[in-house]
């Protein structure tokens, strides 16, 4: 179903947001969800055949216009994906659910409801989350048979996929193969980039009108690969001032680009606002893996893409900075617009 003509006119008349006001106003003024527009689905296997050029162009279009796309035939074995879903859900049930029931969001929401307050909860997320990385393996869940082996195998596969996706971006941006990966790994040849996996659940919420599952934000890092729930939806992205649902699609991987890809591409690929809504039923599982720069890596627009004017500008939009400094700013400003973050690291 498309947006009706009438709906479009309304968007134009009352909600069209001038470009100059920036992302934050766009986010706050955005209409509530307009259905009917879906992310483009890319058949990644076609990169290896005679449709390579067409597939590259499709991906370029998604990166330039959407900041998000959905991959199928991405090469991750179905069997592995099924195991990942199983161990992640078992882990939630066995090791997380009880804690979530006693968590701050649940307590604060109960309080609001008991007081019959009209207020909303603005500064928290209705999300259970834990992080897997190479550095914290000794803290990975321990009670679920097969959890560690499965997630290790999954992370290996996803890291390879992230590298392939970055190479496609290199090619589409006219950069040497491996450019983005190298930039994220810092000057040295070593494997310094950070590859993390965030395992999230968005449990059913009795009053979803009072809070969000995950507040609107753009992602700080590089390339994000999201394995979202087969059935329960919740993720929305901001496109042309409207929140659009990212429809669940069994065993597909949703790709999006973070703030560092925006900087590196000198704004050709924008990192896009997204959020997760809470809902009364369904416990949405979502596993986000991210290929981020090393905290020591210096990030700046690729020379090939930085225009001369940028170099001469007193206050370029995309500065040169150390990613660790960016993360210090992001940690406190995650749910705010990205532009002040770029300014803050520029001033360092
Ligand atoms: C994130 C994110 C979306 C999701 O973790 O940054 O946007 O569906 N997650 O969990
Ligand atoms: Ni995100």
Kindly list the domain boundaries of the chain, sorted by start residue: 36-94+123-346
Residue pLDDT, tens place only, 123-172? 999 999 999 999 999 999 988 999 999 999 999 999 999 999 999 999 99
What percent of the chain lies above the pLDDT cut of 90?
Answer: 81
CATH 2.60.120.330 for domain 36-94+123-346, yes or no, is: yes
Pocket test for ligand 1, best of 39, 213, 219, 260 (most atoms within 8 A of CB): 219
Residue pLDDT, tens place only, 23-76? 433 344 444 555 567 899 999 999 999 999 999 999 999 999 999 999 999 999
H/E element holding 114? helix 104-114
From ligand 2's centre to the CA of 45, what distance in Å?
A: 26
Which ligand has the nearest atom to the CA of 214? 1
| pTM value surpassing 0.85 | yes
When mean pLDDT is compared across 33-37, 252-256, 288-292, the lowest value belongs to: 33-37
What b-and-e string marks burial along 143-179, b requiring 16 or more CB atoms within 10 Å of the CB? ebeebeebbeebbebbbebbbebbbbbbbbbebeeeb
CB of 219 within 6 A of ligand 1: the answer is: yes
**pLDDT of 338:** 95
**pLDDT of 342:** 94
Which whole number is the average pLDDT over 180-196? 90
How far apart CA 348 and CA 339 sit, in angstroms, is: 15
Pocket test for ligand 1, best of 198, 223, 233 (most atoms within 8 A of CB): 198
CB of 198 within 6 A of ligand 1: the answer is: yes
């Amino acid at each position: 179903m498309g947006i009706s003509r009438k709906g479009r006119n309304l968007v134009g008349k009352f909600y069209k947001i001038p470009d100059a006001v920036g992302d934050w106003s766009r986010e706050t003024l955005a209409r509530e969800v307009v259905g009917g527009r879906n992310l483009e689905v890319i058949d990644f296997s076609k990169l290896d055949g005679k449709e390579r050029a067409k597939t590259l162009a499709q991906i370029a279009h998604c990166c330039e216009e959407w900041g998000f796309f959905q991959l199928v035939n991405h090469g991750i074995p179905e069997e592995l994906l099924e195991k990942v879903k199983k161990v992640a859900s078992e882990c939630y049930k066995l090791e997380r659910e009880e804690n979530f029931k006693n968590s701050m969001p649940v307590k604060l929401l109960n309080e609001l409801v008991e007081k019959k307050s009209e207020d909303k909860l603005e500064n928290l997320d209705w999300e259970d989350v834990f992080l897997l990385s190479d550095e914290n393996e000794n803290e990975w869940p321990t009670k679920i048979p097969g959890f560690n082996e499965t997630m290790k195998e999954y992370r290996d596969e996803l890291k390879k996929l992230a590298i392939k996706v970055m190479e496609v971006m290199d090619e589409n941006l006219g950069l040497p193969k491996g450019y983005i990966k190298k930039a994220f790994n810092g000057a040295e040849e070593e494997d310094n980039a950070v590859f993390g996996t965030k395992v999230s659940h968005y449990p059913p919420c009795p009053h979803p009108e009072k809070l969000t599952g995950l507040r609107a934000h753009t992602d700080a890092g590089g390339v994000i690969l999201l394995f979202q729930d087969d059935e329960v939806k919740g993720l929305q992205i901001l496109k042309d001032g409207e929140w659009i649902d990212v429809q669940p699609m069994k065993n597909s991987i949703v790709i999006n680009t973070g703030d560092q890809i925006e900087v590196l591409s000198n704004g050709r690929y924008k990192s896009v606002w997204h959020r997760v809504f809470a809902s009364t039923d369904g416990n949405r599982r979502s596993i986000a893996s991210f290929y981020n720069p090393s905290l020591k890596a210096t990030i700046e627009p690729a020379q090939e893409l930085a225009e001369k004017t940028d170099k001469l500008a007193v206050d370029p939009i995309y500065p040169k900075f150390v990613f660790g400094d960016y993360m210090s700013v992001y940690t406190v400003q995650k749910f705010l617009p990205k532009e002040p973050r770029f300014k803050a690291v520029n001033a360092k």
